[in-house]
Amino acid sequence: MDLRNGSNLKLYIREEDYYVVGHHRNIEEKGDDSWIVLTGFVKLNKSDDTELESHKEDNKSMIAIRLADVEYAEIFN
């Protein structure tokens, strides 16, 4: 992950029917209470990739996701 220039992430959320794609903004590491923050994010349906919620044109909108809730992540630099 490029912490200097940022990376785009696709985070698959455990036990949810959606995943989130966005630009890495921040990560707070505190063991089981660790969080990752994305900006310019979009929520998409896991089964058919339909857009459920979009903030991709708004870099001021952020979503914080607890790392323990992330099933797996894909990183795009």
Q: How confident is the model at residue 10, as a pLDDT?
A: 97
Alpha carbon distance 24, 16 (integer Å): 21
The pLDDT value given to residue 26: 85
Buried b (16+ CB within 10 A) or exposed e, 2-21: eeeeeebbbbebeeeebbbb
Low-confidence ranges of the chain (pLDDT < 70): 1-5
Given a contact cutoff of 8 angstroms between Cβ atoms, the answer to whether 25 and 38 are in contact is: yes
Q: What is the pLDDT of residue 2?
A: 63
State how far the Cα of 49 lies from the Cα of 60, in Å rounded to an integer: 24
- Give the pLDDT score at 3: 64
Q: What is the pTM of this model?
A: 0.87
- Predicted confidence at residue 44, as pLDDT, reads 97
DSSP 45: E
